[in-house]
Amino acid sequence: MKIKIIFIVSLLAITSVMAQDRGKFGLEVRSSRNITYNCCAIYGGFNGSTTYTIDNEKNLNSTSYSVGLVYRINERSMLKLHVGHHQNGRNFDLTERLDNFTISKYVDSNLPYYYLQFTPSYVYHLNLGKGKIPLEGGISINKRRNEAEIFFMPINEYNYDLRLAVGYEYPILPKLSAGVNAVYARALSPYQVASMVTGKYSPLQVGLEVNIKYFY
């Protein structure tokens, strides 16, 4: 519910700003499908009376989406600020040990992490016929949202990623365009709570993104 409220407030704020300067401000909606890798490895950890070891670590597929304000500096350059829902995570086979000597094994245990994500970025366009090739770079600020659901491998409340994207954008109408991007995102520092996890979770994501952009 909170994410919906934030989307509505963001959309109202963006609409208000767009009305101040026609032609330079726009609205972009985008969504991506991603695969999350770990640049390091997780070996185990503990949570209260439970300790666990990771027997096998696997990649997780996820979906992200956001809405953003776009400011056109000139015909080739623009700035963006996106706010939205982001997800990454891991899939583990693990062994859990309790203080009472009970041992349990889990296979394909998904650990999805959900975030409210803020992403300021800069885009430079290369012309290609009627379309454009956007080259985008930015920093994503991830605010963890599902605290109560995280039992194994707790992560920090705030995490930061480098975001890079390249793709193709084509004008549908004079003020409306659509595009597709290949997206690369990598953690700027490990996510895990170091005092409770053995190993490191330093996510790297690759994905495919679609977007629609409208200039007021």
pLDDT tens digits along 65-120: 999 999 999 989 999 999 999 999 999 999 999 888 899 999 998 999 999 999 99
Q: What is the pLDDT at residue 19?
A: 53
Q: Dig out the tokens for 171 from the structure.
A: 């004008």
Q: What is the pLDDT at residue 149?
A: 81
Residue 39, number of CB atoms within 10 A of its CB: 12
- Structural fold of domain 2-215: Porin (2.40.160)
Q: What percent of the chain has pLDDT over 90?
A: 77
182-186, 191-195, 204-208 — which is least confidently predicted? 191-195
- From the list 93, 100, 109, the residue with the least C-alpha distance to 150 is 109
Question: What average pLDDT does the structure give for the chain?
Answer: 90
Instruction: Between 164 and 2, name the one with better pLDDT.
Output: 164
Residue 56, number of CB atoms within 10 A of its CB: 10
Q: Is 61:88 a contact under the CB 8 Å cutoff?
A: no
Q: Dig out the tokens for 57 from the structure.
A: 């670590």
Give one DSSP letter per residue of 109-144, joined into a string.
EEEEEEEEEEEEEEEEEEEETTEEEEEEEEEEEEEE
Q: What is the pLDDT at residue 21?
A: 57
21-30, 57-66, 113-122 — which is least confidently predicted? 21-30
- 134-151 in b/e form (b: 16+ CB < 10 A) is bebebebebebbeeeebe
- pLDDT band for position 8 (50/70/90)? low
Q: Which residue is listed with tokens 């190993």?
A: 199
- From the list 169, 157, 166, 108, the residue with the least C-alpha distance to 135 is 166
d(CA 187, CA 163): 9
Q: What is the pLDDT at residue 100?
A: 81
Annotated domain spans of the chain: 2-215
d(CA 117, CA 141): 6
**Does the pLDDT at position 6 exceed 80?**
no
Q: Dig out the tokens for 114 from the structure.
A: 């959900």
Residue 158, number of CB atoms within 10 A of its CB: 11
**Does the pLDDT at position 192 exceed 60?**
yes
Q: What is the pLDDT of residues 125-161, one digit of tens each?
A: 999 989 999 999 999 999 999 887 887 899 999 999 9
Q: What is the pLDDT at residue 11?
A: 56
HSE at residue 207, side-chain half, CA atoms within 13 A, is 27
